[in-house]
Amino acid sequence: MTIRRWIVLAIGVAALAAGLVVAQGARNAARVASDAASRVYVAPGEQDEFYAFLSGGFNGQMSVVGLPSGRTLKTIPVFSQFGENGYGYSEETKAMFNTSVGPVYWDDAHHPELSMTDGVPDGRWIFINGNNTPRIARIDLSLFETVEIIEIPNTGGNHPSPFTTSNSEYVVAGTRFSVPVPQRDMPIADYEGNFKGMLTFVSVDPDHGEMDIAFQIIMPGFDYDLSHCGKGPSADWCFFSSYNSEEAHTLLEVNASQNDKDFVTAVNWRRAEQCVADGAATEMPANYAHNLKNERTGIAETTMIDSVTVLDPANCSDLVYFLPTPKSPHGVDVDPTGEYIVPGGKLSATIAVHSFSKMLAAIEAQDFDGDAYGIPILNFDSIVAGQVERACLGPLHNEFDTRGNVYTSCFITSEVIKWSLESFEVVDRIPVYYSIGHLMIPGGDSMDPEDTYLLALNKITKDRYLPTGPELAHSAQLIDISGNTMQMLLDFPTLGEPHYAQGIPAEKLVENSQRIFELADNEHPYATKSEDAVKVERDGNEVHVYMTSIRSHFAPDVIEGIKVGDTVYFHVTNLEQDWDVPHGFAIQGMHDANILIMPGQTLTAKWEPKQPGVYPFYCTDFCSALHQEMQGYARVSPADSDIALAWSLGN
Ligand code: K7E
Ligand code: CUA
């Protein structure tokens, strides 16, 4: 297609989309279940049936929401500093942000992905990708806390990530923007053939969850957009969608939309393991950070790593194949049986589904339609399982139920369509408001979906909520999928941009949810386990305050002998051993956020007083009837004063 024709088509599609948005506004109330209120109503004192984990997109965090109520339960800070609890400000958490370019206190987080056992979410960990500074984080679901972040080298935009294999042997990462590998100064116009796309397999320790980059596969310079790994018969494979098989480097909206088909890349990771074991890979110099919270001390520690194992498909036969896929596919999803690979060909009105068994047969028969950079391209007609005609405009992502249905989000036509993997026909469609990205069914990308709810994650809300200035909330819509026709139940606004989400029955997490940190197990080097042990120590210009907190005082609460020029570290141990009794700590003039210390935990706030004076500190979390009394004073003397360090409580 010529550029001109494409632009005409694009304008047509945009006009159609605008028309649809208006039309949908008019039929605003359509498809809302008549008893919707009672079906999402969780009475006071009752609890939700599911946890949902929503990415925060450009807020760098993850939200925890209860379903069906849509009530926000928590923000889990991941890639961005979070003043609410001091994550990224406390001395214990700062190292979590270390990267090869120094600390990076923000990222764009897209895809939460639960760890799995036998293809089913097991509730142990949830992973999420950082897109801009390529990283993967692991959140421990007994704590609902980020405990590990690993940087992904040789990657530009870690978008197809961190999807897991069936037993979380690996979480995958890929490069959305191909880049020179290794990075170097070169003309951008020489992109074609010279920029590369890395697909990274990060191993996950089965007992403790620790991540490690096992190997990278160096690929042609396409844009690798999304991924999902196989299950059941296809469990040894992961699939990555790609656009820009044209290898354009400018005006991609036109130049990367030329080919009628791009590719889904199929990677046999078992084969990769074999090739690595056989010595077919090479070690490449690299520089990336691995940040891990030490479970005993509670302190994040960084290890810099200087090499990575890279596998070139040229040196490992039967490793990668290209599945021709119309057109500039975005999502790629695998059904619960592991047989159907369903791309979201966003510029195609037809959804073409690949068959895994046909793919294997075509590989066996070497039924190829040429190659790209030596990687075999399978014959489209030989691997296609079926095509959904007149599906919708802008299909992006798919989730599944146990009844052989696929639910596809359609960005341009703002709807969710439901279609059958048997007939490849659309059986139902429901409008959403507006411009849906991902959608999520609890377990809907696993072998065991729940046939109850679907969450539509919408980009644009326009008139749906009260106006809040130029920036409006993004939105989720809860849809009942238990019957033959989908029924709208609930709208609720979301924090940041919820790209993808995961859901899991609450009972899988509730029992393992930790209530306190055992004080006896606290091995923080500055922990103070009783009020008898509190002290203040000077080490040159550093002052270390070994402090405790308990309802309703700090010990000590009077401190003297600090001087201008000192850096003061308040190491506060919360002596409480009851659930839900955190204390906060803040002191006037501190440059960081408050710290919020959980029972049994030690956290450290840094303070660099600039002027002589007497400065109050206080508890920031209303913890008891005498919370307002939970305060103290730190006296700061001139730099040349000879006032000795002294501390006390109550005399
Ligand atoms: Cu479609 Cu980043 Cu998964 Cu957003 S991506 S929508
Ligand atoms: Cu402790 Cu308020």
DSSP line for 447-515: SS--SSEEEEEES--TTSS--BTB---EEEEEEE-SSSS-EEEEEEEESS----EEEEETHHHHTT---
pLDDT surpassing 70 at residue 21: no
Rounded-to-integer distance, Cα 75 and Cα 54, Å = 10
Q: Does the C-beta of 94 come closer than 6 Å to ligand 1?
A: no
Ligand 2 atom with the smallest distance to the CA of 620 is 2
DSSP line for 214-266: EEEEEEES-EEEEEEE--GGGTTEEEEEEE-TT---S-HHHHTT-SS-EEEEE
Nearest ligand to residue 458 Cα: 1
Q: Does the C-beta of 54 come closer than 6 Å to ligand 1?
A: no
Ligand 1 atom with the smallest distance to the CA of 159 is 2
Q: How far is the CA of 436 from the centre of ligand 1 (A)?
A: 10
Tell me which DSSP letter residue 425 carries. Answer: -
Q: How far is the CA of 405 from the centre of ligand 1 (A)?
A: 21
Position 20 scores a pLDDT of: 44
Nearest ligand to residue 618 Cα: 2
Contact indicator for 338, 405 with CB cutoff of 8 Å = no
Q: How far is the CA of 598 from the centre of ligand 2 (A)?
A: 11
Q: How far is the CA of 55 from the centre of ligand 2 (A)?
A: 31
Q: Does the C-beta of 330 come closer than 6 Å to ligand 1?
A: yes
Nearest ligand to residue 585 Cα: 2
Nearest ligand to residue 584 Cα: 2
b/e code 40-60 from CB counts within 10 Å (16+ = b): beeeeeeebbbbbbbbbbbbb
Q: Which of 373, 389, 488, 484 is nearest to 436 (CA)?
A: 488
Nearest ligand to residue 56 Cα: 1
Position 127 scores a pLDDT of: 99
Position 18 scores a pLDDT of: 44
Q: How far is the CA of 107 from the centre of ligand 2 (A)?
A: 32
Position 589 scores a pLDDT of: 97
Contacts (Cβ under 8 Å, ≥6 apart) of 435:
21, 411, 414, 458, 459, 460
Position 31 scores a pLDDT of: 85
pLDDT in tens, 242-270: 999 999 999 999 999 999 999 999 999 99
pLDDT in tens, 28-57: 556 899 999 999 999 999 999 999 999 999
Residue of minimum CA distance from atom 5 in ligand 1: 499
Peptide bond into 162 cis (omega under 30): yes
Rounded-to-integer distance, Cα 615 and Cα 101, Å = 36
Q: How far is the CA of 551 from the centre of ligand 2 (A)?
A: 6
**Mean of all residue pLDDT scores within the chain:** 95
Peptide bond into 327 cis (omega under 30): yes
Residue of minimum CA distance from atom 4 in ligand 1: 499
pLDDT in tens, 160-205: 999 999 999 999 999 999 999 999 999 999 999 999 999 999 999 9
Q: Does the C-beta of 308 come closer than 6 Å to ligand 1?
A: no
Q: How far is the CA of 601 from the centre of ligand 2 (A)?
A: 15
% of the chain at pLDDT higher than 90: 94
Ligand 1 atom with the smallest distance to the CA of 110 is 2
Q: How far is the CA of 226 from the centre of ligand 1 (A)?
A: 8
Q: Identify the helix (H) or strand (E) that includes residue 417.
A: strand 415-420
Q: Does the C-beta of 324 come closer than 6 Å to ligand 1?
A: no
Rounded-to-integer distance, Cα 181 and Cα 179, Å = 6
Q: Does the C-beta of 396 come closer than 6 Å to ligand 1?
A: yes
Q: What is the rounded average pLDDT of the residues 7-30?
A: 45
Q: Does the C-beta of 499 come closer than 6 Å to ligand 1?
A: yes
pLDDT in tens, 593-643: 999 999 999 999 999 999 999 999 999 999 999 999 999 999 999 999 999
Q: Does the C-beta of 358 come closer than 6 Å to ligand 1?
A: no
Tell me which DSSP letter residue 87 carries. Answer: B
Contact indicator for 644, 612 with CB cutoff of 8 Å = no
Q: Does the C-beta of 176 come closer than 6 Å to ligand 1?
A: no
Q: Does the C-beta of 563 come closer than 6 Å to ligand 1?
A: no
Rounded-to-integer distance, Cα 175 and Cα 242, Å = 10
Position 28 scores a pLDDT of: 52
Rounded-to-integer distance, Cα 52 and Cα 112, Å = 10
Confidence grade of residue 26 (pLDDT, cut at 50, 70, 90): very low
Position 30 scores a pLDDT of: 63
Task: State in Å, rounded, how far the first CA of the chain is from the last one.
Answer: 85
DSSP line for 560-607: EEEETT-EEEEEEEE---STT--EEEEETT-SS--EEEPTT-EEEEEE
pLDDT surpassing 50 at residue 5: no
pLDDT in tens, 219-228: 999 999 999 9
Nearest ligand to residue 112 Cα: 1
Rounded-to-integer distance, Cα 40 and Cα 23, Å = 27
Q: How far is the CA of 110 from the centre of ligand 1 (A)?
A: 6
b/e code 464-488 from CB counts within 10 Å (16+ = b): beeeeeeebbbbbbbbbbeeeebbb
Residue of minimum CA distance from atom 1 in ligand 2: 583
Contacts (Cβ under 8 Å, ≥6 apart) of 493:
461, 465, 473, 474, 475, 476
Ligand 2 atom with the smallest distance to the CA of 584 is 1
Residue list, ligand 2 pocket, CB within 6 Å: 583, 619, 621-623, 627, 630
Q: Give the mutation target among 163, 226, 228, 243 for probing the ligand 1 site: most ligand atoms within 8 A of CB.
A: 226
Nearest ligand to residue 176 Cα: 1
Position 29 scores a pLDDT of: 55
pLDDT in tens, 349-372: 899 999 999 999 999 999 999 999
Residue of minimum CA distance from atom 2 in ligand 1: 110
